[in-house]
Amino acid sequence: SASEDAGNEGKEEKKIHFTYNVSFIVKLEKTPSDKELNVLREFMIVNGEDVLLVSSDNMLKVQTRTDKIGDLIRRSEKLGQLMKVHIENVLFDHEEALIKKAENLDKESVSGENDPAQDPSLLIDQSGPRKNFGFIAVCAGNGFKEIYAGLETDYVISGGQTMNPSTDDFLAAIRLINANNIFVFPNNGNIILAANQARDLTEDKNIIVIPTKTVPQGITAMINFNPDDSAENNESTMKEMIGTVKTSQITYSIRDTVIDDIEIHKGDIMAVGDKGIICAGNNIMKVARKSVASMVSEDSELISVYYGENFSEEEAGELSQSLSEEYPDCDVEINEGGQPVYYCIISVE
């Protein structure tokens, strides 16, 4: 608890046992076993302190204070590729770090120690200089996660139509990012409320929730981010740009139903749009093309096809080819989304 940490603070002040704060993200090649994670955690505990090991699908956040940087990096590289490596000599900034740690403990005691998102094990040493902007996005599928990583998203929370992240998930991610302004992209209408609650519960950082309802909207928002502009102007631009993105998500029905006056049978293919069901049928390609026809206007410039885990790259290529022929004034792009549930997700902007 915070009070126990405060009680031990005097002991910590007498001596710094390890010289370096080390943090990085491992882009996992495959999901590590519990044994692999425990072996790495054991090494970190034996050879360091303030150990943090948090996994999120294909990302692993590693943070500790240690003198065995090389060994830690070599062991971590066995799990995947290292990104955002940060090493800091804490001896130089010890006094300032202690002051800021005391401030963090004070805030934690006010916010309530029973809140799982306030677990001190989730706290990153935020004593280093904060960057101006950070980013959190919600999505499912390794392809989408790679796209967001390429756009320099700090933290991707696994979630979507069948697995909605909680407010605590957002709070934990917010704590992992050392930034003054953090943009959050929920990428699903059902997740926006949890993101807003996390924003309201965060006092030491400016959390900006961009109300994205689909993953492509979040990608468009990130692409239009300008690091040289203010948080307020970026928020305004992003909200404006997501309004230009129309999305169709192609999936199948699990039961007979009638939605938006459209009769749908179990096993039918249906296109889910921004405001409900666009169309339904028994052929993925036909439903996809029909949904695009409802979204394309004379102002449309780009059609993006993100194929999921149950839709092959060849099928996506076939769909892309037919869309290119049908809409010669639009550029058509194919990307691997890797998402479950949806055969493909198509955006028009």
CATH of the domain at 290: 3.30.1180
Same domain, 209 and 288: no
Residue with tokens 């290292």: 82
User: Please, are residues 139 and 187 in contact by the beta-carbon 8 Å criterion?
Assistant: yes
Assigned domain for 8 exists? yes
CATH number at residue 21: 3.30.70.260
DSSP 164: P
Residue-level pLDDT at 1: 41
Same domain, 236 and 251: no
> Residue 275 is which amino acid?
K
Q: Among 242, 277, 310, identify where a domain stops.
A: 242
Assigned domain for 150 exists? yes
57 in helix, strand or coil?
Answer: coil
Same domain, 260 and 307: yes
Please check the confidence at residue 276 and state whether its pLDDT lies above 50.
Answer: yes
Residue-level pLDDT at 122: 39
Residue with tokens 């910590």: 12
Same domain, 11 and 115: yes
Q: Among 198, 225, 242, identify where a domain stops.
A: 242
Domain membership of residue 25 as a residue range? 2-121
Assigned domain for 126 exists? no
Question: Average pLDDT in the 190-213 region?
Answer: 95
Same domain, 152 and 199: yes
Same domain, 74 and 138: no
pLDDT tens digits for range 104-122: 544 443 333 333 333 333 3
Assigned domain for 206 exists? yes
Assigned domain for 276 exists? yes
Assigned domain for 43 exists? yes
Averaged pLDDT score across all residues of the chain: 83
Same domain, 102 and 159: no
Same domain, 146 and 65: no
Pick the closest to residue 263 from 282, 237, 238 (CA basis): 282
Residue-level pLDDT at 3: 43
User: Please, are residues 107 and 204 in contact by the beta-carbon 8 Å criterion?
Assistant: yes
Same domain, 158 and 217: yes
Total domains present in the chain: 3
CATH number at residue 218: 3.40.50.510
Q: What percent of the chain has pLDDT over 90?
A: 49
Same domain, 116 and 142: no
Q: Among 121, 139, 163, identify where a domain stops.
A: 121
pTM: 0.64
Residue-level pLDDT at 116: 33
Residue-level pLDDT at 120: 37
Comparing 39-43, 248-252, 343-347, the range with the smallest average pLDDT is 39-43
How far apart, in Å, are the Cα atoms of 140 and each of 69, 120, 268?
Answer: 32, 28, 23
User: Please, are residues 37 and 53 in contact by the beta-carbon 8 Å criterion?
Assistant: yes
DSSP 175-208: HT--EEEEEEE--STTTHHHHHHHHHH--SSEEE
Same domain, 217 and 151: yes
Angle subtended by helix axes 231-242 and 215-223, to nearest 10: 140
Tell me the pLDDT band of 201, cut-offs 50, 70 and 90: very high
Pick the closest to residue 305 from 346, 348, 248, 244 (CA basis): 346
Same domain, 305 and 258: yes
